[in-house]
Structure 1
Amino acid sequence: MYFKEIRLRSRRFGYIGWSRVKPIIIASNSHRDNTVEQDIKLVALDIDGTLLEPGVPADALPDQRLVDTVARLQASGIIVMLATGRMYPGTVRVATHLGIDEPVICQQGASIHEADGSLRHAFSIDQEIALELYEYALGHDYSIAWFDHERYLVTEKTPSAEFFAAVSDVQIEINVRPHETGVLATGIDIISNETDSTGVHRLLEARYGSKVSLLDFLTVTAIHNPGASKGNALKIISDERGIEQAHVLAIGDGINDVSMLSWAGYSATPSHGDKFAKESAKEVLEGEGVSGVIDRLEAIL
């Protein structure tokens, strides 16, 4: 998930309709039946908090043990791909380090890129709704971030905007009227404060309902097209590759991973995953930090 330096608070899954599954606890070193694990053909991995420890610097990269494990998975014929809240540049930097040359799911599923960066799919916010969101934020003196698959515009710099730009490896563009730049937003963040953010969410949910997807962080309400979720993006890619849902493993640690954790035939969250990830994943892994994730991947081999 992104905004990892901010304590997460969320009240909604951000995508409606995915089933929720009671998790089972599986120790990171527990034995698994290899005949079952051989069914996995595609692995989708979140980055921040899943492949990287929570709270690491924005330019951190996965360790060598994870690089080696991904290489072994790929050598065995399993597709490994990334699904993240980051924009493409920050995502491909991690993919290249891991030796992954597959499409990447970015911006919580709002954009899907080929490995070379070309846009494969994108889900933009309805333009009328986007303009209304801008006017709402302006009227309440809230900052706003407005971005597509290439550009990241903000009305003013804030810690959350600077962090997201850093992990996404993009430049912040300051523009007080981002809706006039020609950028069709695939994501809009309304940056309020701890006191107001709950009210912002409730108002937007009441006003737009299923017309938008909402994700909440401590001071940020993130808005996307309702079709923009990691789960939907993972389904699109799986369908294009002819891979059935039952043969997909997804691993993530946060509420923005819920859609893919619920959709995938196999799913897991680290021991530090938030309560929404733990409620949705089929497995809650043991082990400190990322070690449980690597153990889970090695168990496939």
Structure 2
Amino acid sequence: MNYKIIFSDMDYTLLNHNLQISQKNKNAIQKLSAKNIPFVLCTGRGIYGVEPFVKELSLTKGYVITQNGAAIYELPHLNLIEMYSFPAEEIRIALQEAQKLGIDIQLYYDRILMTERLSPRVIAYSQRMEVDITLIPDALEYNGNLTKCLFNGPAQKLSQLKEIVTPHLEGKVNMFFSNKEYWEITGLEASKGKAALRLAQKLGIPSSSIVAMGDSENDISMLQAAGLGIAVSNAPESVKKSAHKVLEISCDEDAVAHVIEEYF
């Protein structure tokens, strides 16, 4: 098959468990770029958590998909070209229940991250993503639009939240775990799969010519949308079942370089 574009998740797919890009992955991506084959970062991170890696990879043309498909930026200047948001009021019940459970709420609109308190979890997240935080008194009082909402807490509490909220919001928004301590909500039009297909169409590339790589629940739509959806070996079983191919190697073993070398 003649594949023409690759969409890659970042954390624990391109990035290893130390959140670093291996030299072998860097070299493979740079060789791919030299062939004018797009390598598109497709992540749940906000753009601020992607910019350092764009520079590290020396990506100067193409696109970046962030916030689980809610925003697409064009290189080299990372100009926003597409954004999908939803009214915060739509997820009011999720915000209420999260407050009751003591789960940290993180509200996003493009580059802005809002939260009610600087808990250790929120501080750790902001340091990891290198993002400034806007404090708000009460998430329930925010009446603007959101590109996504992230609930940051222990896995057990997030599972409780999901169980309570899903019957009320199913079919109205997208809900998924991006890792065991992050449960996220985006608008219906915002998913990695939909964003990948829209961008491929813009570039005149059929879905059959797409390769996508991922490891988490929020990657499933992208793996299913691609002509070849690939899960790394460290992905959970639910993600592996959604992929066309499961690698025998993990994000710690240059998985992205392996795929580029085999299919491009």
Fold equivalence (TM over 0.5): yes
Q: Which runs of 5+ in 1 are unaligned?
A: 1-35
TM-aligned CA deviation for residue 203 of structure 1: 2.1
Give the 3 Å change call, closer, same or farther, for CA 84–140 of structure 1 in structure 2: same
1:63 aligns with 2:22: yes
The TM-score normalised by the length of structure 2 is: 0.89
1:278 maps to 240
1:33 maps to none
Q: Judge conservation of contact 1:152–1:165 (CA < 8 Å) in 2.
A: no
TM-aligned CA deviation for residue 194 of structure 1: 4.1
1:294 to 235, 257, 262: 257
Q: Which runs of 5+ in 2 are unaligned?
A: none
Q: Report percent identity of matched pairs.
A: 24
- Number of aligned residues: 260
Runs of 4+, deviation exceeding 6 Å: none
1:170 aligns with 2:127: no
**Secondary structure at the residue paired with 1:144?**
strand
The structure with more strand, counted as a fraction of residues: 2
- The structure whose RCO (Cα within 8 Å, separation 6+) is larger is 1
**Secondary structure at the residue paired with 1:44?**
strand
TM-aligned CA deviation for residue 290 of structure 1: 3.5
1:121 maps to 82
1:52 to 15, 26, 31: 15
Higher deviation after alignment, 234-243 or 119-128: 119-128
Q: Judge conservation of contact 1:46–1:257 (CA < 8 Å) in 2.
A: yes
CA distance in 2, matches of 1:245, 1:107: 21
- The one-letter code sitting in structure 2 at the alignment partner of 1:104 is V
CA distance in 2, matches of 1:195, 1:76: 46
**What is the 5 A alignment of 1:140-151?**
140-151=101-112
TM-aligned CA deviation for residue 44 of structure 1: 0.6
Alpha-carbon deviations, 1:60-90, whole Å to 9, x = none? 4x12222221121122231111001111022
**Secondary structure at the residue paired with 1:297?**
helix
Alpha-carbon deviations, 1:107-142, whole Å to 9, x = none? 111111122232222221233214444344345544
1:43 aligns with 2:3: no
TM-aligned CA deviation for residue 182 of structure 1: 6.8
Alpha-carbon deviations, 1:148-203, whole Å to 9, x = none? 11111111233443343234321122222346567521111234544432231122
2:62 maps to 102
1:13 maps to none
Give the 3 Å change call, closer, same or farther, for CA 42–195 of structure 1 in structure 2: closer
RMSD of Structure 2 on Structure 1 (CA): 2.2
